[in-house]
Structure 1
Amino acid sequence: MAVQPEGAPCWADAMFGDVEAAKSFYGDVLGWTFGESSSEYGNYTQAFANGKAVAAVVPPMPGQEGPAQWCLYLASRDAAATASRIREAGGEVVMEPMQVGDYGTMCLARDPSGVVFGVWQAGAHEGFGAMAEPGAYCWAEVFTREPGKSDAFFPRVFPYKAKQMEDDGVDFRLFDLGDRTVLGRMAMGDDFPPEVPPYINVYFTVPDCDAAVARATERGGVLRFGPMDTPFGRFAALSDPQGASFSVIDITTTEGEMPKITDVA
């Protein structure tokens, strides 16, 4: 696929204490195969769906051990300039822009509400080899307890236009690049335990949501929500056996009317 425009989701990876267990789990649930681990880059291992690169898994660096979680990377033409905007908008640069061979340049950041995300300036590695195909990334949402902070931050860093879903029961915002909606923002309510930190929830495409949930729970994953039918697809939220949150969605099975959405001034 071509290099994604500024601010578009372009890659996802996750750090796991037990990489082999993660490979076994996601291989079974999402049908992934895996390339050779790169010892030069901390045993970073790419995952493939139908031969196309869709994500990666990596063990923690010494001293960086922590809970497993998925990290979404947003595309940047200039990672250093993006890092500057992150600081100016009240965010924190957790890892300064770092060149990764000829693959590209990465940095890690945290928005003012605590949501961690990555920035990727493409080189030889342009990002996702496929999207919205079985096994591939499809969608992502920022989950935050302080939506006002995230809503102000992201459009200052990236060229997003915001839209708000008109629904009294949920506080949900969408971020557009041109005529393409690229990211969602969900306010975390009281149904989220206080120990759950803000995060970005990454959705992977599956041909059958219920079958994917069954495989995940059989392998020790935990069903957090769903499966549920929506106008966008049938989806479910899960945690893998090492605690990393993710969702699966069957975009071919849709139900209901599209919600009303209004532009945010």
Structure 2
Amino acid sequence: MAVQPEGTPCWADAMFTDVEGAKTFYGEVLGWTFGEASTEFGNYTEAYANGKAAAAVVPPMPGQEGQSQWCLYFAAQDAAAIARKIRDNGGEVLMEPMQVAEFGTMCLARDPGGVVFGVWQSGTHEGFDTSMGQHGAYTWAEVFTREPEKSDAFFPAVFGYRAKQMQDDAVDFRIFDLGDQSVLGRMKMTEDFPPTVPPYINVYFGVSDCDDAVSKATQLGGTLRFGPMDTPFGRFAALSDPQGANFSVIDTSTTAGEFPQTTDVS
């Protein structure tokens, strides 16, 4: 797999108090299998879709117990340089760039509106080894924030994105592009979101049948938040797993409707 251009989503992981429960849930819903826990790296455990690296789960470090949430990592050529850009543009570096053996260098940060994300400078681990849209594979992600103007200024400044705004009075939605590829969405959180829900990045995983994935998720203790709904991009649904981590599933082979009009706002 070639190293992704800087700013491309390249990896996702989540901390779970009950890692075995998370493995059972995502194994059933997304078809993931799991490698051996790496005791040297806090029992970090990779998940595989059709034998290819798809994501990872890990127990929390002592003192870090709390709400489970998926963390999306963006590719960086130089994690230290990106950390400086994060600070220069009003963000906060939560964990300084740290080399993880030969695998690469990671950094955790928060944008000015409170959205937590990761940065990954690859070594031997280049990130997702799956193909977008395949069952269990990372497929898309969206920044959910109550302060869209902060994210809209921050992410293009740090990663060089071009932006286009969806022409829809019902939602405030923006798409960030790298070159000719759309890599990230940004959605303004409405009053439908309880005040206790912090801003976050919602990660989409591909499934072969959205309704079947929703049925499995809810039977296993997950919560359906929205959908299933047909869109020009695929049939998708928003869920929370039994430990509270938000994510979405999408069947990109089932599409309906016309693609929305957008306006370049770069």
Structure 1 Cα separation of the partners of residues 34 and 130 of structure 2: 15
Q: Structure 1 CA distance, aligned partners of 2:73 and 2:212?
A: 28
Mapped to 2, the partners of 1:66 and 1:106 lie a distance apart of 21
Give the C-alpha shift of residue 134 in structure 1: 1.0
Q: Does 1:124 align with 2:124?
A: yes
Match of 2:15 in 1: 15
CA distance in structure 1 between the aligned counterparts of 2:207 and 2:17, rounded to whole angstroms? 25
Structure 2 counterpart of 1:240, which letter?
Answer: D
Offset at 1:39?
0.2
Identity, in percent, stands at: 76
Give the corresponding residue for 2:150. Answer: 149
Distance 1:215 1:8 in 2: 30
Write out aligned runs for 1:9-158 (5 A). 9-132=9-132, 133-158=134-159
- Give runs of aligned pairs for residues 190-209 of structure 1, distance below 5 A: 190-209=191-210
Q: TM-score, normalised by structure 1?
A: 0.99
Matches of 1:140 and 1:112, distance apart in 2: 19
Corresponding residue SS for 2:20: helix
Letter in 2 for 1:251: T
TM-score between both structures, scaled by the size of structure 2: 0.99
Aligned positions of 1:171-210 closer than 5 A: 171-210=172-211
Is 2:230 the counterpart of 1:263? no
- The CA RMSD over aligned residues, in Å, is 0.5
Using the TM superposition, give the Cα deviation of residue 214 of structure 1 relative to its aligned residue in structure 2, in angstroms: 0.1
* Residues 73-112 of structure 1: per-residue CA shift (max 9 Å, x gap): 0000000000000000000000000000000000000000
CA distance in 1, matches of 2:49, 2:210: 17
Shift, 1:131, TM fit: 3.0
Secondary structure of 1:192's counterpart equals: coil
Larger displacement relative to structure 2 (126-135 or 237-246): 126-135
SS in 2 for 1:235: strand
Summarize deviations over 1:212-241 as a string: whole Å, max 9, x none: 000000000000000000000000000000
Q: Distance in 2 between matches of 1:236 and 1:193?
A: 19
Q: What's the offset of the Cα at 1:24?
A: 0.3
Q: Which runs of 4+ in 1 moved over 2 A?
A: none
Q: 1:64 deviation in Å?
A: 1.1
Q: In the comparison of the two structures, how many residue pairs are matched?
A: 265
Q: CA deviation at 1:3?
A: 1.1
Q: Which amino acid aligns with 1:234?
A: R
Shift of 1:262: 1.0
| Residue type at the aligned position of 2:207 | V
Tell me the distance in 2 between the aligned counterparts of 1:191 and 1:63: 31
Letter of the aligned partner of 2:191 in structure 1? D
Q: SS of the residue aligned with 1:153? A: helix
- Matched residue, 1:223: 224
| SS of corresponding position for 2:238 | strand
Q: Hey, what's the Cα distance between the residues in 2 that align with 1:122 and 1:38?
A: 18
Partner of 2:191, secondary structure, is: coil
DSSP 3-state at the match of 1:215: helix
1:169 paired with 2:170, answer: yes
Paired with 1:2 and 1:27, the residues of 2 have a C-alpha distance of 27
CA separation in 2, counterparts of 1:68 and 1:182?
24
Residue 198 of structure 2 aligns to a residue whose secondary structure is: coil
Distance (whole Å) between structure 2 residues aligned to residue 152 and residue 241 of structure 1: 34
1:237-248 mapped onto 2 (5 Å cutoff)? 237-248=238-249
